[in-house]
Chains A and B, each alone.
Chain A
């Protein structure tokens, strides 16, 4: 046996040992294996990060899409017009159909943040792209979820190739002009896809689709992640009201009131008041019991 053969055998031993160590390290933690199985593939991760939202507004159902921005806190980003005045929200995720609650709204940029209840751990936030802008001609895919129960084991996602146009969107609806929004060329993207994440070629979040339907006219826009990131950065945990920071955007609230009233005749402005105090149905004479 010559030195070269010995050297090769030695290398084989090292390679074999390294492979064993790698296999042992992977197999030693059952959780990791299961997690990898559930969310190891890009489609699996996306399945746990893209949601569909059903809002009950003025007695009608309004459907939209959304994306998980904080899996641990169960925070979902969607469009404000899709949930404006909702008396009930259902969020279909890759794990379950959950209840939703609005924790922040930005009427001017047409953004809303929802919180899911109960808080099921395991949702995955879609990672933002390094390039947070949406230049024209960049390959983009809009992803949304089918409404209803997750089928378990297989993603329930619908992907649509879209094109970014060079022209900016002046307004989505009267009084609503998101900063930095550009026109989206996607005639096959329905109004239910409003709030759908727009993914770049790297599979990461580049923006959000905003689709407003008024009569026979449908306006499709793409809000770049840089705008969304700036808005989310303004939010901070409030006292007991969860999140604050978008108060100045209430100047556009009237426009969304009008939009909701036009689309849902039984819409009430009082339903769109966020964080309205709920007075308890108190037993008379017990006001001072716990003081």
Chain B
């Protein structure tokens, strides 16, 4: 190597060291920062998180016939996703424009949304074309739940719940007044439980009488979802990050569980209560006896709905990213 007269190498050694040091800092610093900022525990290695790009503003999920059914808020499609080894978009049926909520009894898929004061039933069992029925409700159709012999719809601003006969596809009887702005509802072992988001209460409807039984139960702030399981009624209070546990038999509140975040959807498996924290984009598994959090899986993005699939796999929908996520073990 030729060296110019008078030039020395003494200045190169610190320059190399400086370059090397800078390179190391640039490469290592982001990793250290990510590790320091990560406040959630990493998912258990045995948990598998799979995503399916639906691409059509999915807002809710229902499981039926071995498939996950996803309504699209941006079109009139009802999308079926295969709940097998690798979830993938299976089929799409013309169903209802702008559907927001979906429920199923295992055969028929029911859709509710903000466009048109009606409920839609879709029967995709036979062939590629699904049979559709539009059922006029007369009021807003905010959420839908399916019972043994009736389908129930919350009417939001009207403060009522409407009963629909799944055989004749007609609204039965006058709407039942439950409270201010009823949104979510769940069918229990005997009664129907309705969350009144407008006044932070839960009402119990006796389906034999189509009437509210007893006093409404005060729950937390901004209740968003209700589920029934393990002898209790569970309410997700998004506004104060809590869950309310109500005794299903007596209708009395039993406990308030502090979870933090924004609990916005609930689901029940055979052994646990599952809570979706849409603020932290986490799925939280809760032991219904000890009321302790046993597992947390971060799904990311903007999840808004939760469903339990085959072998207790969990499904979430993310409208903004157009994704449906399956979490399984």
Chain A residues packing against B (C-beta within 8 Å): 1-3, 6-7, 10, 13-14, 17-18, 21, 24-25, 28-31, 34-35, 38, 48, 72-73, 86-91, 95-99, 101, 117-122, 149-152, 237, 239-242, 275-283, 286-291
Contact = CB atoms under 8 A, between A and B. Distances in A.
Given A21-B30, A72-B279, A152-B57, A86 B157 contact: yes
A237 to B, nearest CB: 7
Interface in B293-311: 300-304
Contact of B30 (A25, A97, A122, A150): A25
Contact of B215 (A10, A91, A240, A287): A287
Contacts of B7: 3
Interface residues on B, range: 35 or more
Contacts of A240: 199-201, 218, 221
Interface in B136-182: 139-140, 142-143, 156-159, 176-181
B184 to A, nearest CB: 8
A35 B279 CA distance: 15
23 contacts: A3-B7, A10-B19, A14-B22, A17-B26, A24-B30, A73-B222, A88-B157, A97-B98, A117-B181, A118-B101, A118-B304, A119-B224, A120-B319, A121-B264, A121-B279, A122-B318, A149-B115, A277-B180, A280-B216, A282-B212, A282-B213, A283-B212, A291-B215
Nearest to B209: A283
A163 to B, nearest CB: 35
Interface string B208-249: 010111111110011010000000000000110000000000
B12 interface: yes
A74 B139 CA distance: 22
Contact of B159 (A10, A34, A72, A278): A278
Question: What's the dominant secondary structure at chain A's contact region?
Answer: loop
Contacts of B159: 278
B108 to A, nearest CB: 21
Interface string B260-299: 0010100000000000001101000000000000000000
Given A96-B74, A121-B304, A283 B213 contact: yes
B197 interface: yes
A3 B10 CA distance: 12
Contact of A97 (B55, B115, B239): B115
B59 interface: yes
A14 B279 CA distance: 38
